[in-house]
Amino acid sequence: MNVLLFDPFNGAAGDMIIGTLLDLGADEGLVRAAMRSVVGEPTIERVDRSGIRAVQVRAHAPAHHRTLDEVLDRVAESDAPAPARETARRVFLRIHRAEESIHGEGAHFHEVGADDAVADVVGACTALHSLDAAGVAVLPVALGRGFAVGSHGTFPIPAPATVAIIAASDLKTAPGNEERELCTPTGAALLAEFSTIRPEDLGPASIGAVGYGAGSRNPPGKPNVLRSMLLSTEEHAGGDRVDILETNVDDVTAEALAYTIGRLMEEGARDASAIPVVMKKGRSGHLVRVVCRPDATDRLVGVMAQELGTLGIRCLPMVHRSVAERTVEPVPVTVRGREWTIDVKCGWSGGRITSFKAEYEQAAACARETGVSLREVAGTVEAAARRLFIERGVLEP
């Protein structure tokens, strides 16, 4: 399977991401059309960055700042393919959540709401879509250090929005050794949204193509580029690697099993279950099985030993798990004359939604308050979600 690997050893920005993907083989015509529909014809050219040939992209946008709703409208009206528009929408919602975590509810976009940022996000999402990679991994992102001046005055590097975006993602970071901003909020949001695979879970792979995207600066002695690679892996990389922990018990009550499963989930298990089994000498028992990330194994083994009193726990290490891309999409509905916004969990494949389901706790709260059955609430939410996703072009009618 083809997997895209970003190597932001010198940081990342929106224009650098477009450039590296174009150099890797993304469809330039599609990218030009998408960016042109937002701000006009971009300039795409090859430049030299400390001896490395790289693609530089410039959007030529006016210094006009927009609200979130205005940004989302421009994304929706762009000529990007529907899956790329949907990815771009999620990128800006990710940025907006970061801004609100810093400035409070109702925070406004500043640099990331400028037209060039809109063009960069739409262009980068279109480029990614055209490559049709099975998954995306991101190596540690260099951030830089020092101070810079922005819309709110002087701020520390990395910018607060960049830190908030990365903190809410699975991206790893590296400090970088330059006194300047290496990773912008737009770059961080794009990489966070694109990332579907941890680099350590890739396994053996061969490099099929390499791309370099140029930043606007050209400092001497160090290439200001973002590198990407298209890898061919030996196994399907649309997932990750997990440990499976198992133990058999025949002297634990149902209440203790339920409590243990709850604790395991609270402590970071991806899944936990108790399966009835017939053990030696015909005794009834349970097989307790836990799925977890490798870094949680020791902690969860301790929970199992403490709560179950078991003397032996089997560990099946680093098992490959296929995982669909997942998002949570808010869906507005009306139930008995009241307006509700209920989250819908979505599974994605190939840039389109393949499954979706109303979030249980929110649907249950709505059912309790309105007196409507949970089944009817969930049906109403999922019907509204279907209409919304078809309208966005990410679900087949």
Amino acid at 251: D
Distance from C-alpha of 276 to C-alpha of 150, rounded to nearest angstrom: 60
Residue 134 has pLDDT above 90, yes or no: no
What pLDDT is attached to residue 210?
Answer: 98
Give the mean pLDDT of 97-117: 73
At residue 138, φ and ψ (nearest 5 deg) are -130, 120
pLDDT digits (tens, 9 = 90+) for 60-101: 887 777 788 889 999 999 999 999 999 999 999 999 999 888
Contacts of 185 (CB under 8 A, 6+ apart): 95, 98, 111, 112, 159, 161, 162, 165
Asked if residues 226 and 20 have their Cβ atoms less than 8 Å apart, the reply is yes
What pLDDT is attached to residue 152?
Answer: 60
Give the mean pLDDT of 24-42: 96
What pLDDT is attached to residue 315?
Answer: 87
What pLDDT is attached to residue 363?
Answer: 96
- Enter the pTM of the model: 0.68
- H-run or E-run covering 318: strand 314-322
pLDDT digits (tens, 9 = 90+) for 193-202: 999 888 887 8
Written as six digits, the tokens of 358 are 């109303």
User: Between these two residues, 71 and 326, which has the higher pLDDT value?
Assistant: 71
What pLDDT is attached to residue 221?
Answer: 82
Asked if residues 16 and 194 have their Cβ atoms less than 8 Å apart, the reply is no
Residue 300 has pLDDT above 80, yes or no: yes
Distance from C-alpha of 322 to C-alpha of 162, rounded to nearest angstrom: 30
Give the mean pLDDT of 200-211: 89
Instruction: Look at residue 382 and give its three-state secondary structure.
Output: helix
Give the mean pLDDT of 171-196: 91
Percent of the chain with pLDDT over 90: 66
Structural domains of the chain ordered from first start: 2-233 (no CATH), 239-322 (3.30.70.1380), 325-392 (3.10.20.300)
Asked if residues 80 and 124 have their Cβ atoms less than 8 Å apart, the reply is no
- H-run or E-run covering 70: helix 68-77
Percent of the chain with pLDDT over 70: 93
The overall average pLDDT reported for the chain is: 90
Which residue's entry shows tokens 């969930």? 378
Instruction: Look at residue 142 and give its three-state secondary structure.
Output: strand
Written as six digits, the tokens of 374 are 């949970």
pLDDT digits (tens, 9 = 90+) for 252-291: 999 999 999 999 999 999 999 999 999 888 889 999 999 9
The least confident of 23-27, 103-107, 118-122, 371-375 is 103-107
Asked if residues 375 and 351 have their Cβ atoms less than 8 Å apart, the reply is no
Report the sign of the C-alpha dihedral through residues 295, 296, 298, 301, in that order.
negative
- H-run or E-run covering 226: strand 225-233
The least confident of 170-174, 187-191, 241-245 is 241-245
| Burial class of residue 230, CB neighbours in 10 A (0-12, 13-18, 19+) | buried
What pLDDT is attached to residue 94?
Answer: 93
Q: Where residue 234 falls among pLDDT bands split at 50, 70, 90?
A: low
The least confident of 102-106, 249-253, 300-304, 309-313 is 102-106
Residue 237 has pLDDT above 70, yes or no: no
Distance from C-alpha of 253 to C-alpha of 80, rounded to nearest angstrom: 57
Residue 236 has pLDDT above 90, yes or no: no
Asked if residues 24 and 210 have their Cβ atoms less than 8 Å apart, the reply is yes
Distance from C-alpha of 27 to C-alpha of 127, rounded to nearest angstrom: 6
Residue 111 has pLDDT above 60, yes or no: no
